[in-house]
Amino acid sequence: MAKAPKKKKKELKPKLRIERRFSPESSINPRILYALFGVGAMVVGAGAYWQFGRDASMPPPPVAQLGFYLLVAGAVLIAAALWFSSSGDAAIRVGAPGIALERGGLRRMPWYEVGSISWASGTEALNISGKDESGSDFSFQVRAKGHAPACAWILQEARERVPQVLEVDEDVLKRFPAGDPQAGTTLQQDLQVVGKRCGVSGKVIAYEPDARVCPKCERIYHKYKVPKECKCGADLTAFRDQVEDDEDEA
Ligand SMILES: [Zn+2]
């Protein structure tokens, strides 16, 4: 017999939890990079030929050690292309789950842990500081050079979600007016609430239906402890359907 269809959950969950992934943009034209790689490879090939490939009956190279010099020159060109192609910046993710840095692993700062977002005019970067998902201090920079689309999205999401942490001037906001919907790669991320702590009681959420999630900063509350207003300022009265004690009423 067929299984009974799963009961639909009526829990309040964010519908689509999307984040965008931005690879750092190289500071030079990709065509120049390909040309560098191509020429580098050809020079290495020629060098290898002069160094190892010739047979003894052929005339000696015009320059002694020509093969060796060509090998070195080709290697230098390829190394330069590699160096230019990786700007050294990490990939950045921005979206409902927060702001994340991809360097080796993935380290994420949920919106409710963002302490401040400011602009460093010297390095032309957004300074982001707060805590990561495990509650450890975390701060990093997102440079406008190489990550302009990510900067725009960080500012847009922060304005909508946690405007109180934004410490940037009007001219920076003007420089990045809005996130480009076409920018980056879109990823869907499910929210894991089990194991997270309630924002009021600090109690660990053991059972998913017990969790209530602030739709703006994603701070998590136990269903019995939802305040009227989230620490981010969002109105949570609609999520207070099961609050049992109203000791925080006053
Ligand atoms: Zn909130």
191: CA distance to ligand 1 center in Å?
15
Verify that 101 and 63 share a domain, yes or no: no
112: CA distance to ligand 1 center in Å?
6
Q: How far is CA 28 from the centre of its chain?
A: 22
Among 46, 70, 85, the domain-final residue is: 85
Asked if residue 184 is part of any domain, the answer here is: yes
**Quick one: pLDDT at residue 249?**
47
234: CA distance to ligand 1 center in Å?
5
pLDDT (average), residues 38-66: 81
155: CA distance to ligand 1 center in Å?
17
pTM of this structure: 0.72
**Quick one: pLDDT at residue 119?**
95
pLDDT (average), residues 203-217: 93
Verify that 110 and 147 share a domain, yes or no: yes
Asked if residue 157 is part of any domain, the answer here is: yes
Place of tokens 């010297």: 122
Verify that 69 and 101 share a domain, yes or no: no
Verify that 162 and 108 share a domain, yes or no: yes
219: CA distance to ligand 1 center in Å?
5
**What count of other Cβ atoms lies within 10 Å of the Cβ of residue 130?**
21
Among 42, 63, 85, the domain-final residue is: 85
Give the count of domains, the chain.
3
Query: Containing domain of residue 165, as a range?
Result: 18-23+89-188
Residue 25, exposed/middle/buried by CB under 10 A (0-12, 13-18, 19+)?
middle
**Quick one: pLDDT at residue 247?**
54
Contact predicate 67/123, CB 8 Å: no
Among 150, 168, 188, the domain-final residue is: 188
Place of tokens 């990510």: 150
Tokens of 170: 């009007």
175: CA distance to ligand 1 center in Å?
27
196: CA distance to ligand 1 center in Å?
15
What confidence tier does 250 reach under pLDDT thresholds 50, 70, 90?
A: very low
Contact predicate 128/99, CB 8 Å: yes
203: CA distance to ligand 1 center in Å?
17
Residue 62 DSSP symbol: S
Mean residue pLDDT of the chain comes to: 86
Verify that 131 and 160 share a domain, yes or no: yes
What confidence tier does 5 reach under pLDDT thresholds 50, 70, 90?
A: low
In CATH, what number is assigned to the domain containing residue 170? 2.30.29
The pLDDT tens digits for 97-131 are 999 999 889 999 999 999 999 999 999 999 999 99
Asked if residue 104 is part of any domain, the answer here is: yes
161: CA distance to ligand 1 center in Å?
8
